[in-house]
């Protein structure tokens, strides 16, 4: 790779995601592999790659002394059903810990909490069958959507985490949702600063899950 500005930027990006350029152009990973199975938040909707959650989570983990390779497996608009359909494809065999960050689009579409739970159950069961560590991220439904629906939806994530004995991060958008300064113009997707907040809060939970892996 020639020493051009583009090449230098590429090297910085690789380092930020836990990859190191070796002689001959090969790449080697450093640290345990974390895959984020999610939607547009994981995919970095509206943001450059360096500001998206995978890179920012890697940086936050590094500050905690947890060396990692963080892979984004986010598909904008994806639901828990979509995640269940692609979990084997999206979560590669060398993944140590999978962060499951789905449910926001189900919420926006008013999908039954029972269906959401069933889909997430399939995902978590499959990951455990494959001997992957799991961090389940919840999404908090606002009361305005309907108190009964919100109560049932919000109960899905802690209940499922208890059932399967996996780590729970209760609300992926904690500290970010409804904070204008931390969201893009649509009021839904976090901006770069919002993603940093998410990464900083999520990192200790992921680091603990990483440490539990052999």
Report how far residue 198's alpha carbon sits from residue 64's, in angstroms, rounded to the nearest whole number.
15
Report the CATH number that the domain containing residue 48 is assigned in CATH.
Answer: 3.40.50.1110
What's the rounded Cα separation, in Å, for the pair 83 and 94?
18
Does residue 169 fall inside a structural domain? yes
- Whether residue 141 contacts residue 149, with contact meaning beta carbons closer than 8 Å, is answered with yes
User: Tokens 């499951």 — which residue?
Assistant: 100
In tens digits, what is the pLDDT along the chain, a chain of 214 residues? 344 433 333 333 333 444 433 333 333 347 999 999 999 998 999 999 999 999 999 999 999 999 999 999 999 999 999 999 999 999 999 999 999 999 999 999 999 999 999 999 999 999 999 999 999 999 999 999 999 999 999 999 999 999 999 999 999 999 999 999 999 999 999 999 999 999 999 999 999 999 999 8
Site of tokens 């090297």? 11
Between CA 176 and CA 33 the distance in angstroms is: 26
Q: Which domain holds residue 152?
A: 9-211
Structurally, the chain folds into a number of domains equal to: 1
69 in a structural domain: yes
Distance (Å, whole) CA 93 – CA 57: 20
CA distance 97 to 119: 19
Residues carrying an active site annotation = 40, 186, 189
Q: Alpha-carbon distance 184 to 206, whole Å?
A: 26
Please give the structure tokens belonging to residue 139. Answer: 């999404």
3-state class of 192 per DSSP? helix
Whether the predicted model's global pTM rises above the 0.95 cut:
no
Residue 56 lies in a domain: yes
Tokens of 174: 């904690």
Among residues 133, 60, 121, the alpha carbon closest in space to that of 91 is found at 133
* CB neighbours of residue 159 within 10 Å: 13
Secondary structure E strands in the chain = 19-21, 27-29, 32-38, 68-74, 97-101, 133-137, 167-169
């Amino acid at each position: 790779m020639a020493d051009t500005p583009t090449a230098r930027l590429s090297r910085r990006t690789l380092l930020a995601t836990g990859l190191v350029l070796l002689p001959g152009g090969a790449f080697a990973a450093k640290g345990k592999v974390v895959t984020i199975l999610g939607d547009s938040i994981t995919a970095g909707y509206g943001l450059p790659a360096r500001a998206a959650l995978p890179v920012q989570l890697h940086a936050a983990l590094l500050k905690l002394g947890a060396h990692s390779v963080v892979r984004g497996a986010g598909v904008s608009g994806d639901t828990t059903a979509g995640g269940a359909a692609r979990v084997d494809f999206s979560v590669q065999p060398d993944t140590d810990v999978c962060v499951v960050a789905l449910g926001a689009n189900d919420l926006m579409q008013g999908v039954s909490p029972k269906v959401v739970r069933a889909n997430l159950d399939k995902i978590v069961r499959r990951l455990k069958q494959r001997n992957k560590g799991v961090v389940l991220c919840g999404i908090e439904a606002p009361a305005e959507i309907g108190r009964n629906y919100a109560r049932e939806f919000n109960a899905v994530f802690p209940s499922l985490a208890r059932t399967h004995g996996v780590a729970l991060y209760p609300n992926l958008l904690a500290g970010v949702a409804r904070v204008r300064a931390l969201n893009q113009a649509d009021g839904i997707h976090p901006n770069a600063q919002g993603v940093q907040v998410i990464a900083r809060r999520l990192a200790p939970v992921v680091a603990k899950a990483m440490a539990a892996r052999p």
